A and B are shown apart, each in its own frame.
Chain A
Amino acid sequence: MEKIGFFVCHCGSNIKATVDPNVVLDGVRSIPGIVVAEQYPYMCAKTGQNMIADAIKTNGLTGIVIAACSPRMHEATFRKVAEAAGLNPYMVEIANIREHVSWIHKNKEEGSQKAVALAKAAIAKVKLNAPLFPEENSVIKRALVIGGGIAGIQAALDIAEAGYEVDLVESSPSIGGKMAQLDKTFPTLDCSACILTPKMVDAASHDKINIMTYSEVEKVEGFVGNFTVTVRKKARSVCMEKCTGCGDCWNKCPVKNIPLEFDLGLQNRKAIYIPFAQALPLVPVIDREHCIMMKSGKCGLCQTVCQPGAIEFDQEDELVTQKYGAVVTATGFETINLDKFGEYAYNDSKDVITSFEFERITHGAGPTGGELKRLSDGRKPKSVTFIQCVGSRDISGRGKPYCSKICCMYTAKHAVLIKDKYPDVNVNVFYIDMRTPGKAYDEFYRRGVEEYGVKYIKGQVGKVVDKGNCLTISAVDLLDNVKMELETDMVILATAIQPVPSAKPLASMLSASIDTNNFMTEAHAKLRPVESPTAGVFLAGAGQGPKDIPETVGQAGAAAAKVIGLLSKDVLLSNPCTAMVDINACNGCSLCAPVCPYGAISYGPATVNDHGLKTIERVSHINQALCQGCGACVVVCPSGAMDLQGFSNKQLLAEVDALC
């Protein structure tokens, strides 16, 4: 039989003025189980706390209810009091008779009666409370960063600098990501490689950072503080330790004409290659699909010329399994496919290119050596036209509904770059809205218009036609409201960006949620923007949403700070108010997992003992370390097998019953 202590606080006159404590005490005194019913002017004061502690000890109370201010105010205080007096802190309930009663109801009779009702509900609940104990989980002091672009590099560096081991996994042969492909960066126009390469070198040479390029995450198990991740290191066919990066192999390789991914196919590479000159690690990979040796067993030229003997045709994929306390996803973005946008003639004309292709063209190491040329005939264009929002802010379903955010600024950058090198080239930009918030961004854009004479036309392009020696653009100028035709030599499309396709399977491996556009979802859009809803998984870079370099670096640093905060702990205490499965009632119907934002629910076999009849059944399992106690799974469980500790079905129904 429970022994409940009930305490009414006057809160000076805050409560007492409109709620009669004696009425409240009389209202609950005769409820079965109430053995103490007391009042005090300030329950939260030391004397009040002592009163509660004494009552717990003297009467051996099994639960207490304090009718006082909001639990948001002092629930923690009273839980500590209970704990110190030897009562489990979760055996405390608060009846909120200040914020919800005395401060809003002026009629003392009505107020007192409502206070009695709330007190009864709290008593009904506390009788069904059960002692709860947080679980302790140790923290593995190692972090995994997925994605070796600027976001991943920055996060890895920051975490490593704090003294923790970091593994940086990158799927391509080199770290560097999209930033390595860029020529200049806005709004300062400093060279991208100049600021990125030192970071790459820092990361590669850091003794706490272990870089795994040409590698992909294969499997993730575990939870915050204790993830077990398997990474597949794809066979590079070149021994990392032996290779000196001399280049003899790729110079000798007879297989040419393979489009170089790094240059978006605008230049070719060999079957054994490095993606770009500053690649890190500076170790080539053999493209097994095109390598003659791999296909027919005849050739082996590279092996012949390699003096250190680094070429290993028989290498196999290697699976590396490691434990981590935290994971940062920095998977980045790519541009969307433009097949559905026939009006821009992207697939028909070599002179219609995407902005990313333009980055390579304007880049000194790019296909034209940095010279502005038409890719069709090598002619220098007299006029270049940019088209904004290609596939962005598109609700037709062909593109993406969101703003890709970076296009306004990089187009402004491109326009200025052209004008700066070739003041005689006409530059037109078709835009819908100019979006230039950011430090020194709008100034930069205006400089393009005012100093460089870039012409901005508000309007949408209806059609681009390749006439051979030039392109014609049909568009509407929305400001003058006229249809217009324009001849130009080159069209550059500000193509929408989207998360890389591997983000989706990765998110599902991590039980991290993604939104309808496959961007990683944050735990809270405003208050927890660098955390995934899944504890221990953090977000950096454009995989979470379109963003530019400074934002990416800032977010990566923030994610790193969160990781460092987590890894600095030796153990994590879990919130004990978690969901709980009665495996005797669960039939494994799997309705609960889809609603869990934290991936805390899994299914597996368990021995179910129904009055001695033992069977092995597939049932739901809650990972207590991941569960945050929202209760979504409880309500979708039709049989009531799932319940929430601290807010159980019976507790809430008891409150309903007590009030009604």
Chain B
Amino acid sequence: MLDQEKTFEPLIVAFCCNWCSYAGADLAGTSRLSYPPNVKIIKVPCSCRVDPIFMLRAFGKGADGVIVCGCHPGDCHYSTGNYFTRRRFALLFSLLDFMGIEKERMRLEWVSAAESAKFARVMNEFTEEVTKLGPNRRLMDIRNLPEGYEELGRGPHREVLDAQAPHARNIPSVVKIEEQMKARATKLLADGVVDRVLAWKAGDHETMPEPAFFDHPSQIENMVYNKYCAHNLSKYLMVAPWLGGKLFDGSTLIFLKPCDSYSFNQLIKENLINLEKTHIIGIGCGGTVQVEDLEEVGMWEKCGVCTKIHHPVGDEIIELENNSPRLDKNARFATVEAIEALSADDRFAFWQSQLSKCIRCNACRNTCPVCNCKRCVFSNNKYDMASKVNATEFEEQLFHIVRAFHVAGRCSDCGECSRVCPQDIPLHLLNRKIIKDINEFYGEYQAGQDIAAPEPLTSFDLNNDGQAGKN
């Protein structure tokens, strides 16, 4: 064993900014300051050019440590690039740590062109630290079913899962605004204010309403609104014909539950909604329920911890009679905190056990209002990322990390990803972890609240990001 440890030579990839750290590495060479040959440098124009995917890919392909080096804050050749880097990697490292992946394998360091000694020292330290950790496996295995696993549903994991299970104790409030909604829809259609209505239509079974468009007042009788209408309608109104088909020219009335309205507002912020042709009616919500075999099995976790009772956007509002917040606003973080409290090994085991169930059906992605790319990076050829599969040794392992990260700062915590997961993976916990981190590191932020507010990952604070960003 000891012998093995001695012979283990980690592979370390260093992304160095051209203007500072790469020059710092050059100066280390000129000054003959040695550091281990394990470190291989890739030059980038700016540390902000380093996509988290590069780091994950390096891990996925066998790197044991990855380090990103940039100019000191305030010294960026491009003024502000490293401030984005700082936030991006602070959140990424924290997310990976949350998944039980050794955060010691990844680093962000500021090295100036003059700091050759610092460059050599950092590389020596980092190599030593990674050597101690041994070969990188976790990022490669996060979605593989562990051989001879223990039943991970017991112990602390059980508690986490129980918190996610349908909340039988929470009873949805009775919603009696369906008739009001129908009346408004009929009126607006009849008056020609809108050309169609987006709402829910009755299914063949009470528990099976589906999102639907209504073009004519006579169809409104099929409209329903009840505790089974969990679906977030936001994405159906995206300007670009998202799934092909013709662009709709007319105007649309959309009904939005409070949580949906945050998603919708985020889409407005991202310029993906033609607001001029949209009439929005915010509607109250008493919570929605999970259905299995056409039977109600309890309230969705997302509704159990919901605090969104207001609509940040809307032309009209149809409120419930008794609208009151259900929980204090941080209650939703309880499960995230429970996972944070586990050991790194347990966190990894938890996520491995969950993510190994994934069948890559893409329901989480396709339902997510902010997963609104025309072609997902996992479906196009931009990063050479294989799609459609769940196989070993592939970047596929990274799907859920990249998915959560790509919506960081944009996710309004609508919880749809977990609601639609056929394998009941609590995916939204990854997003919620990022939200929690953003709140703690950079101040409270609710996506979809205010379309003028700068987003956490595309803005920075000169003064306050430092401490939080440090890993």
Residues of A at the B interface (CB closer than 8 Å) are 70-72, 96, 98-101, 103-107, 110-111, 113-114, 117-118, 121, 513, 515-516, 521, 523-525, 533, 577, 582, 584-591, 594-595, 597, 603, 615, 617-618, 628-632, 634-636, 638-641, 643-644, 647, 649-650, 652-653, 655-657, 659-660
Contact = CB atoms under 8 A, between A and B. Distances in A.
Contact of A632 (B23, B63, B81): B81
B23 to A, nearest CB: 6
Report whether over half of chain B's contact residues are helix, strand or loop; otherwise say mixed: loop
B124 to A, nearest CB: 11
B37 A653 contact: no
Contacts of A71: 43
Given A588-B272, A650-B383, A638 B32 contact: no
Given A632-B81, A650-B383, A104 B272 contact: no
Contacts of B239: 617-618
A254 B357 CA distance: 86
B374 A587 contact: yes
A106 B81 contact: no
B146 interface: no
Contacts of B103: none
Nearest to B247: A615
Contacts of B32: 103-104
Interface in B240-267: 240-241, 247
Nearest to B123: A104
A603 B88 CA distance: 24
A587 B373 contact: yes
10 contacts: A100-B25, A104-B120, A114-B40, A525-B75, A588-B270, A590-B270, A594-B454, A635-B48, A639-B375, A649-B383
A615 B81 CA distance: 34
Contact of B78 (A98, A586, A632, A652): A632
B376 interface: yes
Interface residues of B, number: 72
A635 B377 contact: no
A650 B43 CA distance: 14
A660 B25 contact: no
Contact of B63 (A582, A644, A660): A660
A591 B407 CA distance: 11
B458 A630 contact: no
Interface in B368-412: 372-377, 380, 382-384, 406-407, 410
A630 B40 contact: no
Interface in B1-36: 11, 13, 22-23, 25-30, 32-35
A70 B48 contact: no
A660 B61 contact: yes
Given A72-B26, A660-B61, A644 B49 contact: yes
Nearest to B274: A618
B25 A99 contact: yes
Contacts of A629: 45
A99 B26 contact: yes
A123 to B, nearest CB: 14
Interface stretch (B51-59, B94-102, B320-328): B51-59
B49 A100 contact: no
Contacts of A652: 42, 44, 49, 51, 54
B111 interface: no
Contacts of A96: 26, 41
Given A70-B29, A72-B23, A632-B48, A656 B377 contact: no
Contact of A639 (B34, B43, B51, B382): B382
A584 B379 CA distance: 13
Given A635-B49, A653-B383, A105 B34 contact: yes
A636 B458 contact: yes
Candidate in B33, B58, B454 with the most chain A CB atoms within 10 angstroms: B58
Contacts of A113: 37
A657 B60 CA distance: 10
A110 B37 contact: yes
Given A103-B29, A103-B30, A659-B11, A638 B45 contact: no
Given A595-B84, A650-B383, A659-B40, A631 B48 contact: yes
B462 interface: yes
B77 interface: yes
B34 to A, nearest CB: 5
Contact of B271 (A70, A588, A655): A588
Contacts of A594: 454-455, 458-459
Nearest to B13: A659
Candidate in A586, A636, A656, A660 with the most chain B CB atoms within 10 angstroms: A656
B330 interface: no
A595 B84 CA distance: 8
A589 B271 contact: yes
A118 B383 CA distance: 21
Contacts of B79: 513, 521, 523-524, 533, 597
Nearest to A643: B382
Candidate in A582, A590, A652 with the most chain B CB atoms within 10 angstroms: A652
Candidate in A110, A628, A630 with the most chain B CB atoms within 10 angstroms: A630
B271 A590 contact: yes
Question: Which 10 pairs across A and B sit closest by C-beta, in order of nearness?
Answer: A640-B382, A99-B29, A631-B49, A639-B373, A660-B61, A630-B78, A638-B406, A103-B29, A594-B458, A589-B270
B37 A591 contact: no
A597 B80 contact: yes
Contacts of A630: 45-46, 48-49, 77-78, 81
A639 B37 CA distance: 35
B153 interface: no
A596 B367 CA distance: 30
B74 interface: yes
A589 B272 contact: yes
Contacts of B75: 525
B42 A659 contact: yes
A639 B42 contact: no
A400 to B, nearest CB: 13
A594 B377 CA distance: 21
A634 B47 CA distance: 12
Contact of A660 (B11, B23, B271, B410): B11
Contacts of B54: 652-653, 656
Given A628-B78, A639-B377, A660-B11, A587 B41 contact: no
A660 B58 contact: yes
B111 to A, nearest CB: 14
Contact of B374 (A105, A586, A597): A586
B50 interface: yes
Contacts of B42: 121, 652, 655-656, 659
Candidate in B11, B43, B45, B459 with the most chain A CB atoms within 10 angstroms: B43
B358 interface: no
Given A631-B46, A632-B46, A114 B37 contact: yes
Nearest to B33: A104
Contacts of B272: 587-589
Interface in B62-99: 62-63, 74-75, 77-81, 84, 88
B115 to A, nearest CB: 15
Given A521-B79, A523-B79, A638-B406, A577 B373 contact: no
Contacts of B193: none
Contacts of B45: 577, 629-631, 644, 647
B368 to A, nearest CB: 11
Candidate in A106, A587, A591, A617 with the most chain B CB atoms within 10 angstroms: A587
A650 B77 CA distance: 24
Nearest to B406: A638
A235 B234 CA distance: 48
Given A70-B29, A617-B240, A644-B45, A656 B58 contact: yes
Nearest to B64: A660
Contacts of B25: 99-100
Given A590-B270, A652-B44, 10 more contacts: A72-B26, A99-B29, A99-B30, A516-B461, A628-B78, A630-B45, A639-B377, A652-B42, A653-B54, A657-B57
